[in-house]
């Protein structure tokens, strides 16, 4: 999919917009002359200009008029205002992409009035370092080529899966919130190491490298998690003793319950919007 020459605006020049702009520039998907950001905060516009060479303006309407692809990257609670502001100028030839958690394509379509292709994306924070995982789903006017275009943009900062909109709450609960679960696991492993007598400066890297190494094994060996776990777990050994405690204490049920609650909360938030 050729994106060169297309003009792309980020409405909201925050963390996610920055991650995406960095990724897009790194893989040279679109030149900086064809990128534009908007923000209410002049410091963010100045930052994009100075650090990334990407121009910014504060007028969302004007920015949309100048663009082929519009990525809405403001907080969910700002979306209704932004859509009200730009609805009069968005045209069916343009694509509207939203990364706002919980905001449905139906909600966006209803505010835009015209039949605009809308695609919803749930990225995650590892996108900041090019290792994101995004779920994307199509609104009712989005075509296959629009989904392909969005796939190409988000592959600049990681990987992409196409899902149905009703699966977006599950994606949010799993990969959207997921980095926080893994950070918690690292925190807990580090604390356990400290309680066993290791200094933090040793315990923390042990935990971090273990998570990274395990994730890389999962990707590179193509063996599933249970096979890899069994390979580390000798009968009567230390790993088995630890896993037995996790099973007895209901670790699996607790984790599934936690992710289920996250999906429920994500759904509730989208109803509020
Ligand atoms: N960060 C994540 O892990 C993550 C993951 C998945 C999805 N998302 C979604 O990504 C979106 C952006 O998240 P983020 O973390 O990048 O947020 P953020 O850093 O707060 O970025 C939003 C930016 O938009 C600006 N803004 C506010 N009102 C505006 C307006 N009317 N016009 C133009 N810009 C305006 C904000 O300025 P002020 O700060 O001055 O208000 C801020 O600089 C959210 O909807 C979030 O749900 C984020």
Of the residues 12, 43, 273, which should be mutated to test ligand 1's pocket, given the most ligand atoms within 8 Å of the CB?
A: 12
pTM of whole model > 0.85? yes
Ligand 1 near 168 CB (within 6 A): no
**What DSSP line would sit under the chain, residue for residue?**
---TT--EEEES-SHHHHHHHHHHHHTTSS-GGGEEEE-S-HHHHHHIIIII--EEES-HHHHHHT-SEEEE-S-GGGHHHHHHHHTTT--TTSEEEE--TT--HHHHHHHH-S---EEEEE--GGGGGT-EEEEEEE-TT--HHHHHHHHHHHHTTEEEEE--GGGHHHHIIIIITHHHHHHHHHHHHHHHHHHTT--HHHHHHHHHHHHHHHHHHHHHH---HHHHHHHH--TTSHHHHHHHHHHHTTHHHHHHHHHHHHHHHHHHHHHH-
pLDDT of residue 113: 77
Q: What is the pLDDT of residues 192-235, one digit of tens each?
A: 999 999 999 999 999 999 999 999 999 999 999 999 999 999 99
Ligand 1 near 99 CB (within 6 A): yes
8-168 CATH pick, 3.40.50.720, 3.40.50.300, 2.60.40.10, 3.40.50.1860: 3.40.50.720
Q: What is the pLDDT of residues 45-79, one digit of tens each?
A: 999 999 999 999 999 999 999 999 999 999 999 99
Give me ligand 1 centre to Cα 77, in Å.
Answer: 10
Q: What is the pLDDT of residues 176-196, one digit of tens each?
A: 999 999 999 999 999 999 999
Of the residues 48, 74, 136, 172, which should be mutated to test ligand 1's pocket, given the most ligand atoms within 8 Å of the CB?
A: 74
178-272 CATH pick, 2.102.10.10, 1.10.1740.10, 3.40.50.1100, 1.10.3730.10: 1.10.3730.10
Give me ligand 1 centre to Cα 61, in Å.
Answer: 17
Q: Domain limits of the chain? A: 8-168, 178-272
């Amino acid at each position: 999919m050729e994106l060169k020459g297309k003009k792309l605006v980020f409405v909201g020049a925050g963390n996610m917009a920055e991650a995406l702009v960095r990724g897009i520039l790194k893989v040279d998907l679109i030149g900086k002359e064809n990128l534009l950001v908007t923000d209410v905060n002049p410091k963010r516009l100045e930052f994009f200009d100075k650090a990334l060479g990407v121009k910014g303006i504060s007028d969302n309407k004007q920015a949309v008029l100048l663009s082929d692809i519009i990525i809405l990257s403001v907080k969910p609670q700002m979306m209704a205002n932004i859509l009200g502001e730009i609805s009069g100028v968005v045209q069916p030839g343009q694509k509207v992409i939203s990364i706002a958690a919980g905001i449905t394509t139906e909600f966006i379509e209803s505010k835009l009035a015209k039949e605009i292709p809308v695609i919803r994306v749930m990225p995650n924070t590892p996108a900041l370092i090019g290792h994101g995982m995004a779920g994307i789903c199509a609104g009712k006017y989005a075509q296959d080529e629009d989904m392909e275009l969005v796939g190409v943009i988000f592959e600049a900062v990681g990987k992409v899966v196409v899902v149905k909109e009703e699966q977006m709450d599950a994606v949010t609960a799993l990969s959207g919130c997921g980095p926080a679960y893994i950070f918690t696991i690292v925190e807990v492993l580090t604390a356990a190491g400290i309680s066993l007598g290791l200094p933090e400066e040793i315990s923390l890297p042990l935990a971090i490298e273990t998570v990274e190494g395990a994730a890389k094994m999962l990707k590179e060996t193509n063996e599933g998690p249970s096979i890899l776990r069994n390979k580390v777990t000798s009968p009567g050994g230390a790993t088995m003793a630890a896993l037995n405690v996790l099973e007895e204490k209901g670790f699996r049920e607790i984790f599934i319950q936690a992710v289920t609650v996250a999906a429920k909360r994500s759904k509730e938030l989208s109803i509020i919007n």
